[in-house]
């Protein structure tokens, strides 16, 4: 969220008193508010929030767990380490709606079928969470975000009275496959997320875990059941369309990852064929390939072993983005190579062969856009192994 909006929301959060002693009237409503996706990566999955409205008290507040500040101290380093802090902002609903109207994003609300006491319990819980001492929380994009929190709050307040049915869900989905349905595959955002996420995203998601995405929170409440006097009733009493815009679609753009990697692959294979015919080695190409894959591999290793990101461990993207390639890239600038490079290249080729096996076996999904780069790496590694390193006949 832009810095000016972040500070505006925080200011609005403190302008009005906390209503911890207020009793909601019989006309009060608690609603789950769902907003459609935006054009930026951080808004591509939509948004969920809670609205409490009481016309008798002239009360209309949104509780927004999705506020963060790009310009906060050490934001990017904390993000890299997995220590991202989000804030619950509490402010007038009209400002919330105005923001989404300006961004041309649809907004729907689901008014929950609650008793007055249950609405009061919601209200007090949210008011307590909105206190400055409680408002910050450690964000996780899959297990503790603006959507999962609404699920958890509802279960905490209603306990066994609420049931989220899963008959409407397509079963056997993973966290990654659910994400890929929301985010167009040929974007840098999709490539980046699938690059840094390991096998945790590839386990079968439970009904509850589907709800890390706002669309599935919306569906879960829509099909949810609440028991009133031991009789099952619909959890949602009424649904309202508050803003009726067409859903934003993710666009890949001209310089999308598949195009970039395809151009690089075509150029690299062309240079390799020329090298084969002329009995040469284009050291610049080798340096670029090994340097880039090495740097990416270092990022993967850092996130895996030195960050708190829940989905970073066990990331088999290291099979093509191999961190030691960073060192080897400088070694390959020399004309004559060490004999151990033969074994090293054999290892890299083995790694590339393992990738489609893991992919087809659904051990881990890989970024689709990386396929042209994988083909180039295999071709180049085979050329270096069979036509250069083994013969120890490198011509600059």
Q: At what angle do helices 371-383 and 283-306 cross, to 10 degrees?
A: 120
What's residue 42's pLDDT? 82
d(CA 17, CA 29): 20
Vertex 137, ends 6 and 197: CA angle to 5°?
95
> What's the burial of 379, exposed, middle or buried (CB within 10 Å: 0-12/13-18/19+)?
middle
pLDDT at 335 over 90: no
Q: Is 394 inside any structural domain?
A: no
Average pLDDT score over residue span 205-221: 96
Residue 33 clears pLDDT 50, i.e. is over it: yes
Q: Are residues 337 and 225 in the same domain?
A: no
In a domain, 183, yes or no: no
41 or 18: which leads in pLDDT: 41
Q: Are residues 239 and 262 in the same domain?
A: no
Last residue of a domain, one of 192, 219, 243: 243
C-beta separation of 174 from 203 below 8 A: yes
Query: What percentage of the chain reaches a pLDDT higher than 90?
Result: 78
Residue 56 lies in a domain: yes
> How many domains does the chain divide into?
2
Asked if residue 23 belongs to a domain, the reply is: yes
Residue 161 has pLDDT above 70, yes or no: yes
Low-confidence winner among 17-26, 51-60, 186-195, 232-241 (lowest mean pLDDT): 17-26
User: How far is residue 178's CA from residue 247's CA, in Å, rounded to a whole number?
Assistant: 18
Domain hosting 377: range is 257-389
Answer yes or no: do 215 and 304 share one domain.
no
- The answer to whether residue 123 sits within a structural domain is yes
What is the C-alpha separation between 158 and 152, in angstroms, rounded?
A: 10
Instruction: Give the strands of the sheet with 231-234, arranged side by side.
Output: 162-163, 225-228, 231-234
Please tell me the predicted confidence (pLDDT) of residue 72: 67
pLDDT at 6 over 60: no
Single out the residue in 194, 218, 243 at which a domain terminates.
Answer: 243
Question: Can you read off the two tokens belonging to residue 237?
Answer: 């009493």
Mean per-residue pLDDT, 267-271: 98
CATH of the domain at 43: 3.90.1720
Residue 83 pLDDT: 81
What 8-state DSSP symbol labels residue 136? E
Is pTM beyond 0.75 here? Answer: yes
DSSP code of residue 172: S
> Max CA-CA distance within the chain?
87
Q: How many CB atoms lie within 10 A of CB 319?
A: 19
| 372 occurs within a structural domain | yes
Model pLDDT for residues 68-116, shown as the tens digit of each residue: 776 666 666 676 677 888 999 999 999 999 999 999 999 999 999 999 9
Q: Look at residues 74, 378, 370, 376 and name the one whose alpha carbon lies nearest to residue 193.
A: 370
Instruction: Tell me whether residue 361 is in a domain.
Output: yes
Residue 197 counted as domain residue: no
**pLDDT band with cut points at 50, 70 and 90 for residue 393:** very low
Residue 271 has pLDDT above 80, yes or no: yes
The sign one gets for the Cα dihedral 7, 8, 9, 13 is positive
- Within the chain, residue ranges assigned H as helices are 3-15, 75-81, 93-102, 116-129, 146-158, 175-182, 188-196, 214-222, 257-278, 283-306, 325-331, 340-360, 371-383
């Amino acid at each position: 969220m832009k810095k000016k909006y972040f500070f505006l929301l925080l200011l609005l959060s403190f302008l009005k008193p906390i209503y911890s002693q207020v009793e909601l009237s019989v006309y009060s409503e608690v609603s789950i508010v769902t907003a459609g996706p935006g054009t930026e990566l951080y808004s591509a999955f939509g948004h969920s929030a809670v609205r409490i409205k009481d016309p008798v008290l002239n009360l209309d507040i949104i509780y927004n767990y999705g506020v963060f500040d790009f310009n906060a101290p050490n934001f990017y380093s904390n993000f890299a380490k997995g220590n991202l802090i989000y804030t619950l902002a509490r402010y007038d609903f009209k400002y919330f709606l105005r923001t989404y109207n300006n961004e041309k994003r649809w907004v729907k609300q689901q008014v929950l079928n609650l008793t007055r006491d249950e609405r009061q319990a919601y209200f007090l819980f949210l008011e307590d969470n909105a206190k400055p001492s409680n408002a910050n929380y450690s964000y996780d994009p899959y297990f503790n975000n603006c959507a999962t929190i609404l699920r958890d709050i509802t279960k905490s307040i209603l306990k066994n009275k609420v049931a989220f049915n899963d008959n409407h869900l397509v079963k056997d989905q993973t966290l990654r496959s659910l994400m890929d349905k929301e985010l167009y595959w040929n974007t840098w955002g999709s490539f980046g997320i699938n690059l840094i996420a390991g096998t945790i995203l590839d386990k079968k998601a439970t009904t509850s875990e589907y709800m890390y995405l706002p669309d599935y929170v919306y569906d879960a409440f829509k099909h949810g059941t609440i028991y009133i006097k031991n009789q099952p009733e619909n959890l949602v009493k009424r649904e309202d369309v508050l803003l009726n815009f067409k859903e934003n679609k993710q666009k890949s753009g001209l310089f999308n990852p598949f195009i970039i990697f395809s151009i690089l692959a075509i150029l690299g294979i062309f240079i390799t064929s020329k090298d084969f015919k002329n009995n040469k080695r284009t050291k610049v190409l080798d340096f670029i390939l090994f340097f880039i894959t090495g740097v990416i591999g270092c990022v993967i290793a850092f996130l895996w072993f030195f960050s708190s990101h829940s989905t970073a461990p066990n990331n088999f993207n290291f099979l093509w983005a191999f961190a030691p390639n960073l060192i080897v890239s400088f070694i390959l600038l020399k004309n004559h190579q060490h004999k151990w490079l033969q074994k090293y290249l054999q290892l890299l080729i083995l790694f590339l062969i393992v990738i489609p096996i893991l992919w087809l076996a659904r051990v881990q999904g890989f970024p689709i856009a990386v396929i042209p780069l994988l083909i180039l790496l295999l071709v180049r590694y085979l050329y270096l192994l069979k036509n250069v390193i083994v013969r120890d006949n490198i011509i600059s």
